[in-house]
Structure 1
Amino acid sequence: MRRSMNVYRALLLLGTAALLSACGQHDDSAAAMQAAAAAGPQSTAADPLARGRYLVKAADCAACHTTADGAPFAGGVKLASPFGTFYGTNITPDKDHGIGDWSADDLYKALHDGVTPTKQLYPAMPYTSYRQLSRADSDAIYAYLMAQKPAAVANHEPELSFPFNMRFGVRFWDWMFLTDTLPDASKAPSPNGTSSGAPSNGTSPKGTSFAASADWNRGRYLVNALGHCAECHTPRGKFGQLDGAKPLTGAALGRIAAPDITPHGLAARGWTAADLQTFFATGIAPQGSAFGEMYPVVHLSTQYLTHDDLRAMSTYLLGDPAPAPQPLQSISADAAQLEAGRNVYLAVCAGCHGPGGEGKPHVAVPMHANSTVRQSDAHNLIVAMLDGIGAQDFPGLERMQDMPGFATQLSDTELAQLANYLRATYGGQSADVTADAVKALR
């Protein structure tokens, strides 16, 4: 009998492993997180609705709950996963389809435990990260949402296959993985085996004692709780849980892989605190522009954060103190292969990105020292070349024109040659992309 129950439990865990979109975990330092939450922008402290609006943007709620042509927060956004499709729900104060009958306690329980007055939520709603939110911030979010215009828009039920459609199985997943321990960026392993950034109120990799700064702690709250960055940027275990041994080291959940955003990973691609702040505020930095899933994050969320909060996020992600940005490495590669790749580049890329990879303002980003080109894994570079990138409007008057995809124009061999030329010439990476690697991503 016990063996049968163990098998049944394993099947349920496998079923709930489908719920990949948000399997974050919770901070182990409640006092520090509460203090960081209280350190929010003072300009909104006297106006609960203004504070709620700010927090809703910081939590990027619109990304999942507002479609491009729908009413604000009326739901309907498709959330694809390998196990089926989830849909963002209606969180307007409509009493029939939204949260109009919810109390502030109900919203807090949904954010903290993934439980609503009528059902258990799938962790496609990232309550696994939102459970770190302070009660005060949850109440401010509630006040703002309840002040919105009700939208009588029905919710879409998840379209999941068996056994992933057994909602009650989420209870078993929560039992196993919903904890009060969040993977911490400061404890991510770097190649030399040390932590990649300064842990809170502990010791540095060299053993020097220090206290984490207010910016670092505020950034920790913004990144881990409100921004729920770990949901995309941390690899997952076989049951869909975040891998606490590799926090923020990157993960491939969609077509575009979320890169390593640990202090070591960012420094290896040339990021500085100033550049990271600029990127969050505008979507564009010397290292390139936001694309893929990061574009809506900037468009709907981070561009609206205060300068102080953007500085805090950058401080936490890069470490305090931040490691020095790494210079480009000189790469030796086969001359004939690089010449072939250069010819492809001049034929189809140089018109926008410049013959020397310098880019063109308001047209195309530089290839020289581009963060995507500098990634050790060429996955995102290959996907961008195959699929292209749509035209993007950024804060202010900045805009980047669309980049066409070359899947039908260039062969696997030509795209591999182009990738190797870019990596070796502008990214300091090995020219080791093969035609088979390109073919696998078509």
Structure 2
Amino acid sequence: MHSTQKAHLFPLESVPHASPLTIRTPANTTATTPVQQETPLPASPWRWDVDQISRHTRTDYTLPCCLCGSHLMTSIEFAPNFPWVTSDLRPWKSKASLSMCSTCGLLQKCTDSRYGEDVADIYATYSLDSADGSHDHLVVRAGGFKARASALIERLSEYGVSLQASGSILDYGCGRGAFLRAVSESLPGWSMMGADLTEANRIDVEKIEGAEYTTLSQLPVERRYDVISLIHVVEHLQRPTEILNQLSLMLTEQGVLLIQVPDFSKNPFDLAVFDHVAHFSVQSLKNLANLAGLDSMVVAEGLIPREITMVAKPKLGRPLGMQATDGPEETLRTLEWLSNCQQQAVSLNSSGDPFGILGTQVGALWIDQASDAKATFFVDEAPRRNSEKFLGRPVLFPSDVLFQNRVLVPFLSEYAKPIAARLVEFGVYPVLIRSP
């Protein structure tokens, strides 16, 4: 039996058309450049049905939660033309929908057989080349930029996690070895094993000093590790509880699991990644740890921006009960932000003037697909991306953008404002997304 529950979007804040951003120039003079935040926006060409949320209470419901197995699910249906992208930066034309488990609170894709076939197709042709897999993402650190993996290792000590001079690590889902490369540079006394789906990454990983490689199907389960890392892996798993439980058996007595996942409430584009099965909040990640028999020693939102980092170890005794998470309102607010982002891109495109989009990852690809507003160029603060192309268009360093050209900054306000301040120093006109 199905019952219907109405959900209401959070009201939009009243944001002025433009607000001045005051920064200090290198000459210690004050410069003020307007930062566009909101204009009258066109209607979105696609909408998800956010006002019709069905709560499935039948115990024989065929799509149980991928984390706890509950059949009590709240579903959010998307319009057929909602744009999806893959984690290796490809548009994906199939359909998907989201469900939130009313028991453990995990937000997840509806993993029916069609979805499973699509994900299998994605992985069969998965290409880390298109996702810049040979390099790690950069994060702002100590006034400059640092590889995400290096920043993660560096900051663990701030949270009471001390890595000894020697040890062993298994990087489960290692890709081309970005995290193992950071371990090799920071902890040269460690032995390292990388594991992934196919042989495609073997050559790259084995180039890292001290690193071995194996496929997941050939993983030697008798070996023990001081650290098992899953960096942006758990969100891809359809049976995360089972896999974490199995991996915990491969830890040494004092060993820990190091898990990092996107925080969808801080990075809304995570919801549009087709092959991301699960979309975590802090509490739903803690619930996963409890169900897998793990004690979450550290759960941090700010260790790496827009991501959740967990350090966990096996615990004795029975798993603790799960705690409630926020209802669907946070999800709906995140989806509304995506709608605002799409509409802002359409508005920029309609002006007829050249404009750019900040970033060369999932967010930029999604905006390009969602709005059909083809940016003239993309902007990336990483110098190594300068003079490259993304989606067939130039990637510019901020200093190469023509004076007062508009650049859409597709981040939540707390992250967009410091980025906008840096762009203003180069004479760029940043355009921010209004908050729901």
| TM superposition score normalised by structure 2 | 0.30
Greater strand share, 1 or 2? 2
Q: TM-score w.r.t. structure 1 length? A: 0.29
